[in-house]
Amino acid sequence: MEKKDLRIVYMGTPDFAVESLKCLVEGGYNVVGVITMPDKPMGRHGSVLQPSPVKQYAVSQGLRVLQPERLKDESFVEELRSLQADLQIVVAFRMLPEVVWNMPRLGTFNLHASLLPQYRGAAPINWAVINGDTETGITTFFLKHEIDTGEIIQQVRVPIADTDNVGIVHDKLMMLGGELVLETVDAILAGTVKPVPQEKLIQSEAELRPAPKIFKETCRIDWNKGVKQIYDFIRGLSPYPAAWTELYMGGAGKQMMKIYEAEKIFCQHDMQIGEIRTDLKTDFRIAVKDGFINILSLQLAGKKRMHVADFLRGYRTANDNRVE
């Protein structure tokens, strides 16, 4: 079978999923349908509906788009079946019921932003950086009942630099993911795929690192940890959703402060954890047990993101300035 004859249904929602769909379209593959989330209400009254990035691209290419509220709805299942897909591809979508993933004759494969079996879950890129990993990657695998546990088709390994934040790693994996999706489709077409069960790659269940969804409270900085842990935590959440803390400036009370960039300084000192040292120019250090975290860019509640030098122009010192 030629790639133009292979009927593909693509499923995805955010920016990360657009690149793979774009590669399929520009590569001449036959995408007969695109499944994405319903448009999201925006604005104060929710009166404006915002289409997903995948929908925006699909519409621009004249592709058929389906936006089911529930993936088990009979009307959606019948409409999906009418597309007569040979293969389904899932990138950054949601958990599929068996009636959906088991429909195509060649199966359904997923592109996941980690080296499975590590970092199964919703936020694999964030957790790899937060944990200080020096390597991550992307994986294509066939779907089965348990989430992110299917047989591995292909993987690509990607280094993580000490200065990379999650945004940088995300973009690297997104671009490589588009290439890997095409390679996986070609291998399936050629009949050369030799899937590997993830169980063969698991030495110990205790060594598996999860990648759960990240919430606001997840992003709060624990200043009792060491320099490296806090530094990795900040870059693992930058630029989104961003690590945060509460800044206390004497009698001015507390205000929420997001931190986007920082430097790590290892040294001994006699300051209290969370205490601030600054030259009121470019240096804004927060004391931790084995050194300092020097803040480079930040955002106060209700303000725009700014470089620390701009922040310090309006900063006033007091005897008990600190973060909590």
Annotated binding site: 114-117
- The packing angle between helices 15-26 and 53-60, to 10°, is 20
Burial class (CB in 10 A: 0-12, 13-18, 19+), 215: exposed
Count CB atoms within 10 A of the CB of residue 220.
Answer: 15
Q: Phi and psi for 74 in degrees, rounded to 5?
A: -60, -40
- Encode 152-187: b = buried (16+ Cβ within 10 Å), e = exposed: bbbbbebebeeebbbbbbbebbbebbbebbbebbee
Is the CA virtual torsion 307, 309, 315, 320 positive or negative?
positive
Give binding residues for (6S)-5,6,7,8-tetrahydrofolate as ranges: 114-117
Q: How far are the Cα atoms of 31, 53, 116 from residue 13, in angstroms, in the given order?
A: 16, 6, 21
312 token code pair: 């310090």
> What Rg, from alpha-carbon coordinates, does the chain have?
23
Q: How far are the Cα atoms of 77, 187, 291 from residue 83, in angstroms, in the given order?
A: 10, 22, 60
